[in-house]
């Protein structure tokens, strides 16, 4: 299958590499010129579960997308605040038949995608894979994961299942879901706790789990996600989701992983996606008159951290 990865950071590089290994025609697209040029010259270097490898992948700089290079499938992996610009830049790759799968963290991205892609071609999902970007052209990939996805357009269930099969054939463990918004909110609970707390506390997930207030903080944040989701018709079991999130603390699975927000802000001094995770819950809370003090405060802390790092 002819596939473009729009946003070839840590996770985009993982999916691009695995889909390439699965025999697909993959092109990585990103706005970081040094990253793209490194892959173009030397290939994508990866530590995959302890094995060092290099893969020669097609790459394109976001601002120089090929007018003649239409794709069958585009998987979106940009940062949330970069989504609109990416979709605008890659329009030459979008034909009337191009399917677009959004696997971004956060909530409500389809509102932006609909500006560029007809509803019948939009698929949304989430992934529990992890990845780390160690430098231009180099990623560290470990552990197992999965993908869930669903069509937004009516009658596109079979196409969604076909896309899931393509991913599964490349080892990405994908499956069709008939209730993806539940899965997206459940995943958002992971990001809404692990990302912000690990970033503020300067630790990995296992380190967070070792602190005595961890359970109370995690449960309080998730309770706000559950309340907002319920208002939107998504029923989450608070105790089950808390247990699911706290399973991330296990150092024998993914507990030693530093979440993407930590990588963005602490390691690379980049802006974060907090406004599309905890910030989104805060906005929805105000809209629905639901108190969200923990999400409000965590978003404020991350924004303050962004400003401090930017000033220095």
Q: Which residues lie below 8 Å from residue 219, measured CB to CB, with a gap of 6+?
A: 238, 242
Find the catalytic residue in 187, 223, 267, 287. 187
Is 58 known to be catalytic? no
C-alpha distances out from residue 4 to 60, 76, 94, 148, 276, Å: 10, 9, 10, 19, 24
Concatenating the DSSP letter of every residue in 88-127 gives HHTGGG--TT-EEEE--SSS-THHHHTTTS-GGGEEEEEE
For the chain, the C-alpha Rg in angstroms (whole number) is: 19
The SS3 assignment for 58 reads strand
CB 165 within 8 A of CB 140: no
Closest CA to 272 of 304, 297, 298, 303: 303
Q: Is 111 left (phi over 0), alpha (psi -120 to 50) or beta?
A: alpha
The Cβ of residue 86 has, within 10 Å, a number of other Cβ atoms equal to: 22
CA distance 10 to 133: 5
Give the burial class of 298: count Cβ atoms within 10 A of its Cβ; 0-12 exposed, 13-18 middle, 19 or more buried: buried
H or E segment at 84? helix 83-89
Q: Catalytic positions, please?
A: 187
């Amino acid at each position: 299958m002819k596939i473009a990865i729009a946003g070839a950071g840590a996770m985009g590089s993982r999916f691009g590499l695995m889909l390439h290994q699965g025999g697909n025609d993959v092109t990585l697209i990103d706005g970081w010129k040094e990253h793209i040029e490194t892959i173009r010259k030397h290939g994508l270097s990866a530590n995959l579960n302890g094995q060092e490898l290099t893969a020669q992948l097609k790459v394109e700089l976001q601002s120089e997308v090929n007018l003649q290079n239409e794709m069958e499938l585009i998987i979106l992996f940009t940062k949330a605040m970069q989504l609109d610009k990416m979709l605008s830049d890659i329009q030459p790759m979008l034909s009337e038949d191009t399917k677009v799968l959004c696997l971004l963290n956060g909530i409500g991205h389809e509102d932006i995608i609909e500006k560029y892609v007809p509803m019948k071609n939009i698929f949304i999902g989430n992934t529990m894979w992890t990845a780390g970007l160690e430098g231009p052209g180099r990623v560290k990939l470990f552990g197992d994961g999965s993908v869930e996805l669903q069509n937004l357009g009516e009658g596109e269930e079979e196409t969604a299942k076909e896309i899931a099969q393509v991913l599964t054939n490349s080892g990405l463990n994908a499956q069709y879901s008939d209730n993806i918004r539940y899965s997206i909110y459940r995943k958002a609970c992971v990001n809404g706790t692990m990302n912000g707390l690990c970033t503020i506390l300067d630790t990995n997930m296992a380190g967070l789990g070792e602190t005595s207030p961890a359970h109370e903080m995690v449960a309080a944040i998730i309770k706000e996600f559950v309340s907002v989701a319920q208002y939107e018709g998504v029923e989450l079991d608070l105790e089950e989701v808390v247990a699911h999130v706290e399973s991330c603390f296990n150092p024998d699975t993914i507990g030693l992983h530093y979440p993407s927000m930590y990588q963005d802000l602490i390691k690379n001094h980049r802006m974060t996606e907090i406004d599309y995770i905890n910030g989104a819950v805060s906005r929805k809370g105000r809209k629905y008159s639901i108190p969200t003090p923990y999400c409000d405060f965590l978003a404020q802390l991350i924004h303050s951290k962004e400003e401090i790092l930017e000033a220095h």
